């Protein structure tokens, strides 16, 4: 079987601005497999490239939360050959959350959160790193404008947030003078020469969230899924993805013989167009990917996603 790595840069990523980043990540993942790595090594190597690229909302480019200073990240890995799943949620001050997620596999747990996750990272030897980037600061400024009613930035937050009176339940230590942010996540799916599949995913979450909010990324079967029949990674508003168990649902389609692009298209059509969604998938019958941002009649090109094989 041929090796393949497919990556994405998030549901709202724009190919004209960041396609080179997802291409580079896919090529790096494939190179890791070519050097003898497993599908899991390939997916993780690809996600690390995206975490280190500040254009994407994960790792260094992670979104700033509503208080204007907190950065909390979620990440997960799923090895389709062994069934191993490891995740961290609301982790702070690490450079590559996906590497910490991988170390969770060695523990008896599947998910470690918050301060416990950060301390776990330190115990595993990951140093202190504050993810600070100009793109995240710019995104935060746009969200502030939107929340203050100075702009109608519909990319920045979900319909649910626009309807919700978030001021009522503000739970940050700092006051509520400033505010909000767009979504996005990075993800990779990989198959190695032995036909093993894996998926990895990492995000700065969405800015318009309360302290401690956890999205789909570290939840089993929601943000990613990998098994003997393929691998899937999703992106978009986490709360909507969770309620559809999206990654597992797409995987089930692959497992019953659906061609990956058809499975991806079907998944995207489960959501109304005001919910930004993106999906990548690989299986025995090929690969597929796409998102619903941009031209609604031809949604496949409207997300940065890369393929290397």
Binding site for ligand ASP (CB under 6 A): 10-11, 183-185, 203, 205-206, 215-217, 235-238, 241
- Report the residue number, 184 or 253, with the smaller CB distance to ligand ASP: 184
CB 73 within 8 A of CB 204: yes
- Report the residue number, 26 or 186, with the smaller CB distance to ligand ASP: 186
H/E element holding 308?
strand 305-308
Residue 9's nearest CA partner among 47, 64, 60 is: 47
- Report the residue number, 32 or 219, with the smaller CB distance to ligand ASP: 219
Residue 17's nearest CA partner among 139, 130, 99, 132 is: 139
Least distance (Å) between residue 10 CB and ligand ASP: 5
H/E element holding 97?
helix 97-104
Least distance (Å) between residue 183 CB and ligand ASP: 3
258 an active-site residue? no
CB 247 within 8 A of CB 224: yes
123: CB partners within 8 A, 6+ apart = none
- Report the residue number, 11 or 77, with the smaller CB distance to ligand ASP: 11
Distance CA 203, CA 38 (A): 23
Q: State the alpha helices, DSSP H only, in 105-203.
A: 114-123, 134-147, 159-163
- Report the residue number, 48 or 303, with the smaller CB distance to ligand ASP: 303
Other C-beta atoms within 10 Å of 64: how many? 24
Least distance (Å) between residue 56 CB and ligand ASP: 10
CB 21 within 8 A of CB 29: no
- Report the residue number, 33 or 241, with the smaller CB distance to ligand ASP: 241
Least distance (Å) between residue 12 CB and ligand ASP: 7
* Pairing status of strand 73-79 against strand 197-203: antiparallel
Least distance (Å) between residue 286 CB and ligand ASP: 24
136: CB partners within 8 A, 6+ apart = 54, 57, 61, 62, 63, 64, 71, 204
Residue 69's nearest CA partner among 200, 179, 164 is: 179
Q: Which of 22, 185, 234, 258 is catalytic?
A: 185
Least distance (Å) between residue 114 CB and ligand ASP: 15
Positions annotated as catalytic residues are 185
């Amino acid at each position: 079987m041929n090796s393949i790595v497919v990556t994405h840069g998030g549901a709202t990523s724009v190919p004209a601005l960041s396609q080179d980043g997802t291409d580079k990540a896919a090529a790096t993942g494939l190179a890791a497999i070519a050097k003898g790595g497993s599908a899991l090594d390939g997916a993780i190597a690809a996600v690390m490239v995206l975490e280190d690229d500040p254009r994407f909302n994960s790792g260094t480019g992670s979104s700033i939360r509503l208080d204007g200073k907190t950065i909390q990240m979620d990440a997960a890995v799923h090895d389709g050959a062994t069934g191993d799943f490891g995740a961290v949620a609301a982790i702070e001050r690490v450079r590559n959350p996906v590497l910490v997620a991988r170390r969770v596999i060695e523990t008896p747990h599947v998910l470690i959160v918050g301060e416990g996750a950060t301390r776990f990272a330190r115990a595993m030897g990951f140093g202190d790193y504050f993810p600070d980037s100009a793109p995240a600061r710019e995104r935060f400024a746009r969200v502030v404008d939107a929340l203050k009613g100075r702009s109608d930035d519909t990319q920045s937050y979900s319909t649910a947030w626009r309807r919700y009176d978030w001021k009522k339940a503000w739970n940050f230590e700092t006051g509520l003078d400033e505010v909000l942010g767009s979504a996005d996540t990075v993800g990779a799916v990989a198959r190695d020469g032995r036909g093993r599949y894996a998926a990895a995913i990492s995000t700065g979450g969405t800015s318009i969230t309360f302290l401690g909010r956890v999205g789909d990324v570290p939840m089993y079967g929601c943000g990613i899924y990998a098994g003997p029949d393929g691998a899937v990674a999703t992106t978009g508003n986490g709360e909507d993805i969770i309620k559809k168990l999206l990654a597992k649902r797409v995987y089930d389609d692959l497992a019953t013989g659906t061609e990956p692009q058809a499975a991806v298209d079907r998944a995207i059509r489960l959501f109304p167009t005001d919910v930004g969604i993106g999906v990548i998938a690989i299986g025995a019958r090929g690969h597929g990917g796409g998102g619903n941002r941009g031209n609604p009649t031809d949604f496949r090109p409207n997300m940065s996603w890369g393929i290397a094989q």
